[in-house]
Amino acid sequence: MDFPIERERMVEEQIRARGIKDELVLEAVKKVPRHQFVNESLVGEAYNDYPLPIPGGQTISQPYMVAMMTECLGLKGGERSLEVGTGSGYQAAVLAEIAYKVYSIERDPHLARMARELLSKLNYKNVVIKVGDGTLGWREFAPFDGIIVTAGSPVVPKPLQDQLKDGGRLIVPVGSSAFQNLMCVEKKGPKIKNRKICGCTFVPLIGDHGWTQE
């Protein structure tokens, strides 16, 4: 399998064709070797147009969803961004191609360790991962220019909104456990602007400001 050609095809047919225009995002997605973020048995499907399972009953999101959420952040390069839900580390790698620094939080220690090892092997030096409840944000490194939540929440987690820089954006799926609206929360001075982007379905965000674990 020629992975760079597969990636090019994925970007043109699944991402650019659906309206993603930000060249920084398109270039980032073209660079990140997605096949390395999935289980060996799924390598042949890594560039297909759907999410794939990763350990712990979690998922690596559909490539288009990763690109679209990244575009919504509006990064220009040089920013400090936060991701909640590291999972495989794929979204963190895409962010790391654009942002100056990426902080990423994962509640599952096994996934966090695997993502840390892979990102280090791939030479991503600007990603820091910690194990914890991402609904609380990462106060030590706040405020952030952009925050992406890659799990579905019943509400916009207040600490994440509070940890946005003025002019910063928070992209978060909000809704029931079965269906969410992807929201863009923008901080403008004392004002918070909420915009619905599209419908989506993510695994649950479990934590103090998300769902309670059953």
Instruction: Choose which of 26, 99, 105, 118 interacts with ligand SAM (CB under 6 A).
Output: 105
Instruction: Choose which of 63, 74, 134, 173 interacts with ligand SAM (CB under 6 A).
Output: 134
Angle at 125 between CA 28 and CA 15, to 5 degrees: 15
Rounded Cα distance between 91 and 68, Å, is: 11
153 binds ligand SAM (CB under 6 A): no
Nearer to ligand SAM, 151 or 164 (CB): 151
Q: Indicate if 61 belongs to the active site.
A: yes
Q: Which of 127, 117, 145, 138 is nearest to 207 (CA)?
A: 138
With a CB cutoff of 8 Å and minimum separation 6, the contacts of 26 are 11, 15, 16, 20, 67
Catalytic entry in 61, 81, 104, 153: 61
Interface with ligand SAM by CB under 6 A: which range of 7-15, 23-31, 83-91, 189-197? 83-91
Residue 139, burial from CB neighbour count under 10 angstroms (0-12, 13-18, 19+):
exposed
87 binds ligand SAM (CB under 6 A): yes
Residue 185 pairs in a beta bridge with: 170, 194
Q: Give, as one character, the DSSP assignment of residue 123.
A: T
Interface with ligand SAM by CB under 6 A: which range of 87-95, 166-174, 181-189, 191-199? 87-95
Catalytic residues: 61
List residues near ligand SAM by CB under 6 A. 58-61, 84-85, 87-88, 90-91, 105-108, 111, 133-135, 150-151, 202-203, 205-207, 210
